[in-house]
């Protein structure tokens, strides 16, 4: 069974909420990405999203844009990111999703990239700029390789399109809880409950809520609405702060644990 599917099955049986972490691969370097992944698993992370560095990350705010730039400068090419995933797999079975832009996939070739990702130990792709209507044979190639194709639903997505998106997605549905790009926010959106209910009316897939969740308190609140919480920029920001420190991994992992603990304390809410 795909690791993402297996993890959410396990969480459902335990009546627990999932915690998903995003970091930029290669920020500050790929050795750090490897070490952070292993530390995050111990801290309670259920799924790791690795952002594959890209020169024009249109869905990302300044924090994640700078992380992508640092990743590019450190030499984190798509093949090297896959090598790092393979290294992680020698010590860990944490589910891994690549957060990626389609240009990077297209340059390699769809089938080759997907198959290379599967061999490395990737469990799913979240292709930011590939809507299901334009995906061609992407979903068939992903299914053949055993990978989850994860799609986004936005606050502005009309209900008929929500139905289309969730029918085509696998693994989990990523609900972008606010308009705009990634980034830290002072408060969570007040439309999360209504939109999550609309999504759930059309699918049994888990709903993961992200974009803007920045603190343990916000993570605990959001966990009451979805099946999983995604935190990215707040963690990436700490990597930027401590990137040159020998204590990078324990410092960032400590913050991640505080978020994971907050998510898990709300595990019996909104079931």
126 in Cβ contact with 114 (< 8 Å): no
Question: Is-cis flag, bond preceding 51, omega within 30?
Answer: no
The active-site residue out of 49, 159, 186, 241 is 49
Contact 87, 60 (CB under 8 A): no
Q: How many Å apart are CA 58 and CA 69, to the nearest integer?
A: 13
By the 8 A CB rule, do 263 and 229 touch? yes
* 91 Cβ contact partners less than 8 Å away, ≥ 6 residues apart: 38
Instruction: Indicate if 49 belongs to the active site.
Output: yes
Active-site residue, from 27, 29, 46, 60: 60
Provide the total of helices (H) and of strands (E) in the chain, helices listed first: 12, 9
Query: Does the annotation mark 111 as catalytic?
Result: no
Q: Give me 245's structure tokens.
A: 């420190």
Longest dimension (CA), the chain: 50
Q: Which of 259, 251, 248 is nearest to 221 (CA)?
A: 259
Provide the token pair at 154.
Answer: 């936005």
Cα end-to-end span (Å), the chain: 24
Q: Which residues of 226-254 are buried (b: 16+ CB within 10 A; e: fewer)?
A: bbbbbbbbbbbbbbbebeeeeebbeebbe
Catalytic residues: 49, 60
């Amino acid at each position: 069974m795909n690791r993402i599917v297996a993890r959410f099955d396990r969480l459902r049986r335990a009546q627990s909420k999932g915690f998903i972490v995003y970091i930029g691969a290669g920020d500050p370097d790929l050795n750090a990405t490897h070490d952070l992944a292993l530390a995050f698993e111990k801290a309670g992370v259920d799924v790791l999203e690795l952002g594959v560095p890209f020169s024009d990350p249109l869905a990302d705010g300044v924090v994640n844009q700078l992380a992508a730039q640092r990743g590019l400068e450190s030499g984190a090419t798509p093949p090297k990111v896959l090598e790092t995933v393979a290294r992680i797999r020698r010590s860990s079975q944490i589910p891994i999703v690549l957060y990626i832009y389609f240009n990077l996939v297209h340059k390699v070739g769809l089938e080759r990239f997907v198959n290379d990702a599967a061999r490395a130990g990737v469990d799913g792709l979240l292709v930011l700029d590939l809507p299901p209507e334009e995906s061609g044979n992407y979903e068939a190639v992903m299914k053949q390789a055993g990978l989850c194709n994860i799609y986004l639903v936005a606050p502005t997505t009309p209900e008929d399109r929500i139905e289309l998106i969730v029918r085509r997605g696998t693994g989990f549905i990523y609900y972008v809880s606010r308009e705009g790009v990634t980034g830290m926010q002072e408060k969570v959106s007040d439309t999360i409950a209504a939109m999550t209910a609309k999504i759930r009316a059309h699918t049994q897939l888990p709903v993961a809520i992200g974009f803007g969740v920045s603190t343990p308190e916000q993570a605990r609140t959001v966990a009451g609405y979805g099946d999983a919480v995604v935190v990215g920029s707040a963690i990436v920001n700490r990597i930027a702060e401590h990137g040159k420190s020998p204590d990078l991994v324990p410092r960032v992992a400590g913050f991640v644990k505080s978020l994971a603990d907050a998510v898990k304390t709300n595990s019996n809410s909104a079931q």
